[in-house]
Structure 1
Amino acid sequence: MTSTPSKPYFSTYSIVGFVLAFLLPIAGVIVSIIGIRDTRKNNLRGHKLTLAGLVVGIISTIGLLVVPHPYF
């Protein structure tokens, strides 16, 4: 009887990086970069989620720098 190998777990960094990309974009970019390395090195799931967090974080960071804030 052969059993199918279990799927690898999602990288914690990829999930945290994606969430932080919406809340704290700069931190989301940093954690997403760490997540890319983690998913490749340890063969974990979540590489596309990490790339999405990286893209959202970069766009949000650029948006924060370009668009003037009403309190400044």
Structure 2
Amino acid sequence: MTRHASKADGATASAASDAAASPHRRRVSAMAIAGFILAFLFPLAGIVVSIVSWAHMKKSTLKGKSLAVWGTAISALSLALSATSITMALIAFSPSS
């Protein structure tokens, strides 16, 4: 008698092979993901989290360096544009002497 593998056996074997392969995969840094998202929502927090995650990745094997770099760049650009806009608004609406 031969035994045929059912779908459940195939799913279990697939899950087991994924679990066995996962130690060799590098995980993406959650801090880099958070920094990238914060870059759009709260640029000041985004730049801090992105820089910290970028520095942390130099010491670890986590992936996500590009996310940290982009989070830093987007946050810096957003902060620069905000500062420029505020400065221009203050100059435009200041009382003339």
Question: Pick from 21, 31, 47: which aligns with 2:39?
Answer: 21
CA RMSD of aligned residues (A): 2.0
Q: Of the two, which has the highest radius of gyration?
A: 2
Higher helix content, 1 or 2: 2
Deviations 1:17-58 (A, max 9, x none): 000000000110000011101212111100011100000000
Aligned length: 69
Paired residue for 1:42? 60
State TM-score, norm by structure 1.
0.83
Residue of structure 2 in register with 1:52 after alignment: 70
Task: Measure the CA separation in 1 of the matches of 2:62 and 2:55.
Answer: 10
Alignment match of 2:49 (pick from 19, 26, 31): 31
**Structure 1: gaps spanning 5 or more residues:** none
Q: Any unmatched runs of 5+ in structure 2?
A: 1-19, 90-97
Distance in 1, Cα, partners of 2:37 & 2:47: 10
